[in-house]
Amino acid sequence: MAATTPIKPFNPEETQRILHHVQQPAVFLNMTCGWPVLRWTTEHLTGCLGDRLIRFRLGKKEETNAPLFETQCSYVEARMAQFLSWTQGQTDVGPFSEYPYSEYWAYADYKYIAVLFQDQPLMFEDVKWSDFGFEGRNGRESTLWIGTVGANTPCHLDTYGCNLVLQVQGRKRWHLFPPGDTANLYPTRIPYEESSVFSQVDVLHPDLKRFPAFQGARAHIVTLQPGQVLYVPRHWWHFVESVDPITVSVNSWIELDVDDVARVSEAVTKTVVWAIKGAKSDYNTDDWLNPTEEGNVSHNENIQYLNLAVMACAQKKRDLSHGKLTRDFGGDHPVKRDSSGQIKTNRDHIRNSEPFVVPFGPHLIPVSSPQKELSRMTSKDVESHSSRKCAASSQEDCSIGSEGTDATRLRQGKHACGTGLTQCRTCDCADGPSEHSSGDNKESRHTTITTNDLLNCLVHPDVISRVTELLLEKHQGGQL
């Protein structure tokens, strides 16, 4: 008897409407039944990749009260077979030999599937984002993440697009914060990475003396299970950690029409950061450029890209004013760290004038703040789905688990001075990191202003937003 195709709880059109209306992170259940990518365990990938060398980022397993940025990690290139042997306790495993498994975690992060399997294009079809209403989008527009327990991505927000994340093997815990918590997370662009705004706070072990406003941050925490898809809305902060011995996940960033303005802001930020940090100075001795970024970019190149971004944004606005574009979701290409400046839109957004209620329930669960009850869901509702099986899938669990212990990690509080970061002028809340200052020495922080202190003000999201507005106004008025 031929296997029947499992019926998905939402068709592509319904899913698009959900993504358009949902205002918080949410987990889709039972939407990936039958996706071949669910077979992409590390054992399966080892056979597919063979002798291909993969770059792994390694971090020390220790509590430091500070984020471990990519600039502070070690890197090795190794085969997947060596990685697996290392996770199984073997010591003589080539590049991993100098890093005891008991002391380090490893992360093969941000690997473009299109590059990783360029000689096996059929594997692209294993990922089927078309089920979410993005016709034609598959693994070619996705990235792969492989990590060990403890592997993590520092807390940050992506300036472009929204994010869909499929968990394939193991579990990952996501700590998400709304855009309105930006002040409480002390944003910084050092280390610099195009399209990523980092938080200066270690969200698991925050230094509340240095970052007191973090007590007011509203964490939304969820542990993503195999087969589940997490939707991360635009500009939501997130810290991601692997909680199982081995984890594999696949994601795709979805470009939005509003990204055209964000590209201008990113071009402004890059121009300012490179102009200041690229200068020779005793205050520029830190590793300020993320390893993912290309070096030696000239000021001329940055200004040229800024002009291209401004012109593209102005053209999009003219098209919108003439009714040529009515889309919210953009093109079919990865958008994170994308500096092409091109506008890629090819899907009409589904609009409906009737009121729409997001159908939270057994197949769609909101990721809520610990201080709030799950919308339309009780704890019994969540637990009742923890044992659901995903038909036609080899995964044992395609449902969301209880987050009782995770939710108690962070508690809501008040800013030390009762204001947001941008309004605080008299207390120590807004102090940024400096290359040569310690968190307990207030006097040195107040008397010594470093390059990074200056940049944290110049490229603060609020400042960059206003500069972007001024540039676009001047361009539209014919003054550029």
**Which of 251, 221, 255, 253 has its CA nearest to residue 238?**
221
Per the model's pLDDT, the better-predicted residue between 1 and 192 turns out to be 192
Confidence band for 294, pLDDT divided at 50, 70 and 90: confident
Model confidence at 416, in pLDDT bands (50, 70, 90)?
A: very low
Mean residue pLDDT across the chain: 83
Instruction: Tell me what the mean pLDDT of segment 11-40 comes to.
Output: 97
pLDDT at 375 over 90: no
pLDDT at 330 over 60: no
Question: Would you state the pLDDT for residue 1?
Answer: 53
Determine the 3-state secondary structure of 13 from DSSP.
helix
Neighbouring-strand partners of residue 193: 196
Q: What is the pLDDT of residue 292?
A: 87
Q: So what's the pLDDT on residue 3? A: 59
Domains and CATH numbers, the chain: 12-178+218-256+355-407 (2.60.120.650)
Tell me: pLDDT of 343 over 70: no
Candidates 6, 4, 1; CA nearest to 395 is 6
- Global confidence as pTM: 0.82
Q: What pLDDT score does 5 carry?
A: 67
